[in-house]
Each structure stands twice: as C-alpha cells, then as structure tokens.
Structure 1
C-alpha cells in the first residue's frame, strides 16, 4: 500500500478525515496507506457485528478509533495518544451507512490505484474491491 500511496501523493489525489468535531491532519503518502492496510479487517468486523479498530499511528496524529456495535448502529470513540482532545466524546452512525462509506472508500482507492499502477488490480485486496464494486 505504501508504494501505491506514494504514487497517488504525486497526483491530485486527496485524503480527508473528519470527525469528533475536527478536520484531521492526514496525508495521502502515509496516513492513507495505514488506513487502507486496516480497512479489510475493519469492514469485516463491522459487517460481522464485532468490535473493530482503526489506528492512525502516524507520528503526531496518534489516534485510535474504536468501533462498537449497538443494535443497528455503531458507536465510534476516539482515543488520542497526543494532546489532541476530541471536542466530541463519540460518534454514533447507522451501521449500514458506515459500511457503505468504508466500502466506497475502498472502491475509490482501488480505482485510483489502478490508474497509477494498472498491475495493482491483480493484487489483493485491491483486485477484490474492483471486482466486487463494478458498476
């Protein structure tokens, strides 16, 4: 993922994370790579009604999102490893909408990756994301 994100960082590709009352200082080269590495496990956990995590472990960012299922909703809490204190204690999303958002992120990433490195469509999980989400 790091190689693909390095290539994407040289294009007009953008990566944004907003939540907990803040716009997070993330980049394509490193932070997007760390998210995409964790995304398959997170999507699987949420679909299975299990607890999931997303670790933004980049130096200076150092935040972990914990995803906990409650009925048809998912409660997301942010644990900061820096002096960042989230203005909001937790986020509460419809689980189906959350999964759709995460799958959309995976699909967009896979299509962008295939533009900068066409052979990437042969690797997993990118190949699966492209095949499962063709329109």
Structure 2
C-alpha cells in the first residue's frame, strides 16, 4: 500500500480564491479549492496503490481533498494505536480502508464498493512506515501550498489542519 504526493513543477496560484465563510465553510472547503486549482495547472500528482492494483484511479481535483480531510483523524488514531478508516467514497473509486492495530503495525482491509476486487484483501504495514507515509503527504501538500499560495498556507484553518496551530 502506498500513498504519495509527487510534486512536479512549482506553480504559483495567484488567482486562487478560497471560501472561508465561518458559517458555511471549514478547512474542507479550502482543501477542495486548493486541490481544484492544483489539478488545473497539473502541479502535483496524487498516487495511491496497493491491494493488487499498482496504481489506483485517483486524481488531484476529486480524490486528494477527500484523502486530505481525513488525515488529522487518521494520524490521531495512529498515534493512539486506535482503529481508523480512510474512505475513498468518490464515484468510480469507492473503496474503504479499515486499519486495525496489530503488534507493531496495522492490518489494513480494503473493501471495494464497485466491481473491482482487492487481491489481496488485507495488507499489513508497520506503524512507523504508515505514519511516515501519511505525514509525508501532508508535508508535501503544505510545501506546494506555501510556494503556490502562501496566504492560503498561512490561513488559521489550514495551519490547524496541518497540526501547526
């Protein structure tokens, strides 16, 4: 199993407008806006793989913000040694990863909600490696965001999401 954010060319996003109406929006709105803008300019590539599929059909505009919004809870659960899920619920992908702690790591079950079937259905990953992989995606996203739209990277909601507040 692998999740990564591959950074291509550095690209500024000077016209990026984010929604941050405290009554209507939260960090998910910002993540979605940023990912849509990054997708338009082709600045990054979101990579997910595992369970018998070398490369999942994920994209930056749709699947990356869904993944990113779940990172804080996933990392909190990982640090506490608790079960957690990562849900790739967007149409076409529709998979749920269920993480169950085992000695020194996590047993991960992939449930498909489409015709695609994982083979194998279960993979085991070391806790440290899993944490490194998830933190790396978050760090690389923040690195891209700081270069592309520093005003957005400095937003209080984004800093709290990234664990910096």
TM-score using structure 1 length: 0.90
Q: How many aligned residue pairs are there?
A: 132
1:97 match: 129
Larger Rg: 2
- Once residues 100 and 123 of structure 1 are traced to their aligned partners in structure 2, the CA distance between those partners, rounded to angstroms, is 25
Residue 36 (structure 2) pairs with residue 6 (structure 1): yes
Identify, as 1 or 2, the structure richer in helix.
Answer: 1
Instruction: Describe the SS at the equivalent of 1:100.
Output: helix
Q: What is the aligned-residue RMSD (CA, Å)?
A: 1.7
- Higher normalized contact order (CA 8 Å, seq sep 6+, divided by chain length): 2
Instruction: Describe the SS at the equivalent of 1:15.
Output: strand
- Once residues 78 and 150 of structure 2 are traced to their aligned partners in structure 1, the CA distance between those partners, rounded to angstroms, is 30
2:48 match: 17
Residue 99 (structure 2) pairs with residue 67 (structure 1): yes
- Once residues 125 and 15 of structure 1 are traced to their aligned partners in structure 2, the CA distance between those partners, rounded to angstroms, is 22
Unaligned runs of 5+ in 2: 1-30
Unaligned runs of 5+ in 1: none
Q: CA deviation at 1:126?
A: 3.7
